[in-house]
Amino acid sequence: MDERIRHDHRLAEAEALERLRALQPAREVSQRITERALSLAREVRSTRPAALSAESFLRHYGLSTPEGVALMCVAEALLRIPDPETADALLREKLSAGQWAKGGGQEAEDSWAASAADWALMLTGTLARWREAEAEPVAQLKRLAARLGEPVVRTAVRQAMRILASQFVIGETIEEAVTRSRAFEAYRFSYDMLGEAARTAEDAARYFDAYSRAIRGTPAGDGVSVKLSALHPRFEEAKRARVFAELAPRVAQLVRLAEQCAVGITIDAEESERLELTLDLFEQLSRGHAIGLAVQAYQKRALAACDWLVGLRRRVSVRLVKGAYWDGEIKRAQQLGMPDYPVFTRKPATDLSYVACARRLLSAPATLYPAFATHNCRTVATIFELAGDRPFEFQKLFGMGDTLYEVLSRTRAFACRIYAPVGSFTDLLPYLVRRLLENGANTSFVHQIADPAVPLEALVADPLEALPEPYSPDPRIPVPRNLYPDRLNSLGVDLARRDVLESFEEKIRSDRGRENLGTVESTTAQELDFSIARAVSAFDSWTRVPPSERAAALERSADALERRMQELASLIVREGGRTYADAVSEVREAADFCRYYALQARKHFANPLALAGPAGERNELSLQGRGVFACIAPWNFPLAIFTGQVAAALAAGNTVIAKPAEQTPRIGFRAVELLHQAGIPADVLSCAVGAGEAVGALLVADPRIAGVAFTGSDETARRINAALAARPGPIATLVAETGGVNAMVVDASALPEQVVDDVVVSAFQSAGQRCSAQRILFVDEGCAARVMRLLGGALAELKVGDAAEPDTDVGPIIDAPARAALLRHVEKLRAGARLIGEARAPASGNYLAPVAFEMPIEALPRIEVFGPVLHVCTYRRDSLGRVLQWIRETGYGLTLGVHSRIQSFVDAVVTQARVGNVYVNRSMIGAVVGVQPFGGEGLSGTGPKAGGPHYLFRFATERTLTVNTAAVGGVTELLTRPLN
Ligand code: NAD
Q: Which of 306, 416, 771, 873 is catalytic?
A: 771
Cα(941) to ligand 1 centroid in Å equals 12
**Tell me, what's the pLDDT at 956?**
98
Residues 6+ apart with CB under 8 A from 147: none
Taking only the tens place, the pLDDT of each residue in 208-254 is 999 999 999 999 999 999 999 999 999 999 999 999 999 999 999 99
- Residue minimizing CA distance to atom 31 of ligand 1: 713
- Residue minimizing CA distance to atom 19 of ligand 1: 697
Q: Which band of pLDDT confidence, cut at 50, 70 and 90, is reported for residue 412?
A: confident
Question: How far apart (Å, rounded) are the C-alpha atoms in residues 448 and 55?
Answer: 9
589 close to 637: Cβ distance less than 8 angstroms: yes
Taking only the tens place, the pLDDT of each residue in 584-619 is 999 999 999 999 999 999 999 999 999 999 999 999
**Tell me, what's the pLDDT at 107?**
39
Cα(554) to ligand 1 centroid in Å equals 25
Model pTM score: 0.93
Flag whether pLDDT at 283 surpasses 70.
yes
Flag whether pLDDT at 142 surpasses 80.
no
Residue 555 among the catalytic residues: no
Flag whether pLDDT at 834 surpasses 90.
yes
Q: Which band of pLDDT confidence, cut at 50, 70 and 90, is reported for residue 519?
A: confident
**Tell me, what's the pLDDT at 101?**
47
- Residue minimizing CA distance to atom 13 of ligand 1: 692
Question: What interhelical angle do 150-168 and 112-130 show, nearest 10?
Answer: 30
Q: Which ligand 1 atom lies nearest to the CA of residue 699?
A: 20
Mean pLDDT, residues 6-24: 93
Comparing 286-290, 347-351, 446-450, 676-680, which segment has the lowest mean pLDDT? 446-450
Mean pLDDT, residues 411-418: 92
Summary mean pLDDT of the chain: 91
Q: Which ligand 1 atom lies nearest to the CA of residue 661?
A: 9
Mean pLDDT, residues 121-136: 44
**Tell me, what's the pLDDT at 50?**
56
Cα(690) to ligand 1 centroid in Å equals 13
Taking only the tens place, the pLDDT of each residue in 971-980 is 888 888 887 7
635 lines ligand 1 (CB under 6 A): yes
821 lines ligand 1 (CB under 6 A): no
**Tell me, what's the pLDDT at 131?**
38
Size (the chain), residues: 980
943 lines ligand 1 (CB under 6 A): no
Residues 6+ apart with CB under 8 A from 973: 615, 616, 965
Mean pLDDT, residues 100-117: 45
**Tell me, what's the pLDDT at 54?**
60
Residues β-bridged to residue 421? 192
348 lines ligand 1 (CB under 6 A): no
Residues 6+ apart with CB under 8 A from 33: 25, 378, 381, 382, 385, 462
Mutate to test the pocket of ligand 1, among 629, 711, 715 (most ligand atoms within 8 A of CB): 711
637 lines ligand 1 (CB under 6 A): yes
Mutate to test the pocket of ligand 1, among 523, 631, 636 (most ligand atoms within 8 A of CB): 636
**Tell me, what's the pLDDT at 979?**
77
Flag whether pLDDT at 137 surpasses 70.
no
Flag whether pLDDT at 563 surpasses 80.
yes
- Residue minimizing CA distance to atom 43 of ligand 1: 771
**Tell me, what's the pLDDT at 111?**
46
Mean pLDDT, residues 838-846: 96
Residue 377 among the catalytic residues: no
Taking only the tens place, the pLDDT of each residue in 63-89 is 566 666 677 777 778 888 888 889 888
Question: How far apart (Å, rounded) are the C-alpha atoms in residues 458 and 45?
Answer: 14
- Helix-, strand-, coil-residue percentages of the chain, each rounded to 5: 50, 15, 35
636 lines ligand 1 (CB under 6 A): yes
Cα(202) to ligand 1 centroid in Å equals 40
Cα(716) to ligand 1 centroid in Å equals 6
Taking only the tens place, the pLDDT of each residue in 894-938 is 999 999 999 999 999 999 999 999 999 999 999 999 999 999 999
**Residue percentage of the chain with pLDDT more than 70:** 91
Flag whether pLDDT at 130 surpasses 60.
no
Q: Cα–chain-centroid distance for residue 779?
A: 22
- The secondary structure of residue 245, as a DSSP letter, is I
Q: Which of 759, 775, 769 is nearest to 814 (CA)?
A: 769
- Residue minimizing CA distance to atom 10 of ligand 1: 692
Cα(710) to ligand 1 centroid in Å equals 7
Q: Which of 93, 237, 329, 737 is catalytic?
A: 737
Taking only the tens place, the pLDDT of each residue in 781-823 is 999 999 999 999 999 999 999 999 999 999 999 999 999 999 9
For the beta carbon of residue 954, count every other beta carbon within 10 angstroms. 18
For the beta carbon of residue 273, count every other beta carbon within 10 angstroms. 19
**Tell me, what's the pLDDT at 431?**
72
Flag whether pLDDT at 115 surpasses 80.
no
Cα(17) to ligand 1 centroid in Å equals 51
**Tell me, what's the pLDDT at 119?**
55
Cα(711) to ligand 1 centroid in Å equals 5
Flag whether pLDDT at 103 surpasses 50.
no
CA distances for 190 relative to 365, 403, 431, angstroms: 21, 20, 16
Flag whether pLDDT at 892 surpasses 90.
yes
8 close to 353: Cβ distance less than 8 angstroms: no
**Tell me, what's the pLDDT at 79?**
81
Torsion from C-alpha of 646, 650, 652, 657, nearest 10 degrees: 70
Mean pLDDT, residues 959-965: 96
Mutate to test the pocket of ligand 1, among 645, 662, 713, 715 (most ligand atoms within 8 A of CB): 713
